[in-house]
Amino acid sequence: MLTKRIIPCLDMMDGRVVKGVRFKELKDAGDPVELASHYCEQGADEIVFLDVTASHEKRNILIDVVERTADAIFIPFTVGGGIRSLEDIHSILCGGADKISMNTAAVKNPEVIRESSRIFGSQCIVSSIDVKRVYVTDESEAPGKTVLETARGRCWWSIHIYGGREKVDMDAMKWAERVVELGAGEILVSSLDFDGTKQGYDLVFLSELSERVSVPIIASSGAGTPNHILDALTIGKADAALAASIFHYGTYTIKEVKEYLAEHNVTVRL
Amino acid sequence: MVKIAIVDYGIGNLRSIKTSLEAVGSESIITSERDGIVNADAIVLPGVGAFEGALKNLETISDIILDQVEESKPLLGICLGLQLLFTASTEGGSHMGLDIFKGKVVKLPFGVKIPHVGWNTLKILKPDNPLVREVPNESYVYFVHSYYGAAKCEEDVISKTHYGLDFPSALSSNNVLATQFHPEKSGEIGLQILKNFVEFVKS
């Protein structure tokens, strides 16, 4: 039976892991390759690297990390952040990554999803979507938008690009349906409302999206406990859960999370 | 040391398959040239991209590959590499394959999310096959695919995996072995399978 996947995410800048990662057993906790190997040994099902390097000129550092990672771990890994063109995708995949994820480039030019999935295959094109709730009192305030009831009131979901810095007045639910039509093989959902809160994932958005699209969904943002991850995979119906700080700070190991999931009848690879 | 030619017929991640084959004690080269394939002890047909494009890129060397297989050179097909070994495929129209495995490549059934992405189990039907030596039944391996090879000959099927239905996840026919999953991305179990292939080449 297909398992649910647990995916640690490493944020990188100039080839180094940012966001404090604390593991005593690591010689160099800033080295993305060493960390990826560490998570691989803990039982991670995949690894996601998110490159937040501002300068496009420093892409060669990223490629070096990709190549070293491919030589060190034998599980799939995805690279996202700053990918703009087919050339960028080509160099990352040829460097040894299995998938790439795109957000801003796809919103600016949706054709890049269609072209890249045709050339490289849908299986390696992950559409990353940063969503943020826009609360409304009445549906008439948001014509054409997908308005749903949440515990905090009615809202629709807008999308954000440039690492959350710029809001785009587009319905995230419809955008997700569109990227699937264009050829995206998976959708990675991050929530700007829930990111860093450790209060759990945006379950309303996830479960609705899961009903609407045919491709696997990776839930991101908000994990504080193994129970949050369980909720994302059950109530949120996500196929995979991505988390960063819960693993980086050693609050829980990947194995502990997986054991918890197994106890609650979620199929995982142990 | 066993020398393995990884056939380069598309664009995608070939580095991982090269590294993992080297990790299990073989020497590997990435090639799309006749000489590279002929001079190797074994061939790996990796899996990248879509069926039609791959077949097109493979056009000039498919005869060489088939000749080498005819001469008993071991071949391992991975993912799309497995699918190319079938009689035909329905991906993006109707296309003829290399016809080593009898049957058609068809889309996974409705009702499950497509692509089939992630770790799934092997139900090993032929535990004596060299490819699955020391691989426990129900081992997890990594899949990424939307189509599968519906094998006509049950004899060819080493293992099946359930996703919407039971589909063949590893196959063999004489000196040709194939996996629908990615052994190079399947952690320790995957490395064991690649090691088994290298041992098979030696024998």
pLDDT digit string, tens, across residues A146-181: 999 999 999 999 999 998 899 999 999 999 999 999
Chain B CB contacts of A88 under 8 Å are none
pLDDT of residue B159: 98
Q: How many CB atoms lie within 10 A of CB B155?
A: 11
Q: A215 vs B182: CB contact, 8 Å cut-off?
A: no
- For residue A151, the one-letter residue type is A
Please give the structure tokens belonging to residue A23.
Answer: 């593991």
Q: Residue B151: what are its φ and ψ, rounded to 5°?
A: -75, 135
Q: What is the mean pLDDT of residues A131-160?
A: 95
Query: What is the least distance, in Å, from the CA of A119 to any CA of chain B?
Result: 7
pLDDT digit string, tens, across residues A248-268: 888 899 999 999 999 999 999
B153: annotated active-site residue: no
Q: What is the mean pLDDT of residues B96-112?
A: 94
Q: What is the mean pLDDT of residues A186-198?
A: 93
Residue A24 backbone zone (phi > 0: left; psi -120 to 50: alpha; other: beta):
alpha
Q: Residue A22: CB partners within 8 Å, gap ≥ 6?
A: A29, A248, A249, A250
| C-alpha separations of B50 from B10, B68, B93, B119 in Å | 9, 24, 12, 21
Distance CA A107, CA A179 (A): 9
Q: A94 vs B11: CB contact, 8 Å cut-off?
A: yes
Chain A CB contacts of B188 under 8 Å are 74
Q: Residue B134's domain is classified under what CATH number?
A: 3.40.50.880
Rounded to 10 degrees, the C-alpha dihedral B142/A4/A174/A228 comes to -150
Q: B144 vs A123: CB contact, 8 Å cut-off?
A: yes
Domain boundaries, chain A: 5-263
pLDDT class of A196 with cuts at 50, 70, 90: confident
Give me the percent of chain A exceeding a pLDDT of 90.
79
pLDDT digit string, tens, across residues B151-179: 999 999 999 999 999 999 999 999 999 99
pLDDT of residue A22: 54
DSSP-assigned states of every residue in B112-158? S-SSEEEEEE-EES-TTSGGGTT--TT-EEEEEESEEEEES-GGGEE
pLDDT of residue A108: 96
- Please tell me the pTM assigned to this model: 0.93
pLDDT of residue A29: 67
Distance CA B189, CA B185 (A): 9
- Which of A2, A90, A94 has its CB closest to that of B118? A2
Distance CA B146, CA B90 (A): 11
pLDDT class of A225 with cuts at 50, 70, 90: very high
- For residue A188, the one-letter residue type is L
Q: B186 vs A120: CB contact, 8 Å cut-off?
A: no
pLDDT of residue A21: 53
Distance CA A218, CA A23 (A): 26
Exactly one of A88, A130, A202, A231 is catalytic; name it.
A130
Is CATH 3.40.50.720 what the domain over A5-263 is classified as, yes or no? no
Q: What is the mean pLDDT of residues B125-139?
A: 97
Chain B CB contacts of A114 under 8 Å are none
Give the three-state DSSP class for B32.
Answer: coil
Of B115, B31, B101, the closest CA to residue B69 belongs to: B101
Q: A74 vs B191: CB contact, 8 Å cut-off?
A: yes
pLDDT of residue B137: 98
pLDDT class of A245 with cuts at 50, 70, 90: confident
B123-124 sheet: strands from edge to edge: B27-31, B3-7, B42-45, B75-78, B176-179, B166-173, B157-162, B123-124
Q: Are A184 and A115 in contact (CB under 8 A)?
A: no
Q: Within the 198-237 window of chain A, which residues sit less than 8 Å (CB to CB) from chain B?
A: 214-216
Chain B CB contacts of A121 under 8 Å are 12, 48-50
Q: What is the mean pLDDT of residues A7-27?
A: 76
B154: annotated active-site residue: no
A196 touches chain B (CB under 8 A): no
Please give the structure tokens belonging to residue A89.
Answer: 């995708």
Q: What angle do CA A133, A137, A143 make, to 5 degrees?
A: 75
pLDDT class of B59 with cuts at 50, 70, 90: confident
Provide the mean pLDDT of chain B.
93
Query: What is the least distance, in Å, from the CA of B142 to any CA of chain A?
Result: 8
Do you find a cis peptide bond into B136, omega within 30 degrees of 0?
no
- Which of A71, A75, A96 has its CB closest to that of B187? A75
pLDDT of residue B135: 98
Give the three-state DSSP class for B30.
Answer: strand
Chain B CB contacts of A122 under 8 Å are 115, 146
pLDDT at A236 over 60: yes
Instruction: Give the total number of structural domains in chain B.
Output: 1
pLDDT at B22 over 90: yes
A163 touches chain B (CB under 8 A): no
Distance CA B2, CA A166 (A): 54
Containing structural domain, residue B112: 3-202
pLDDT at A55 over 90: no
- Pairing label, strands B75-78, A99-102: unpaired
Exactly one of B79, B91, B116, B145 is catalytic; name it.
B79
Q: What DSSP designation does B40 have?
A: S
Q: What is the mean pLDDT of residues A125-153?
A: 95
Q: Which of A2, A4, A217 to mutate to test the interface with B (most CBs of B within 10 A)?
A: A2
Of B119, B172, B131, B183, the closest CA to residue A1 belongs to: B119
Query: What is the least distance, in Å, from the CA of B165 to any CA of chain A?
Result: 11
pLDDT of residue A23: 57
Chain B CB contacts of A120 under 8 Å are 11-12, 48-49
Q: What is the ipTM of this complex?
A: 0.91
pLDDT digit string, tens, across residues B72-95: 999 999 999 999 999 999 887 888
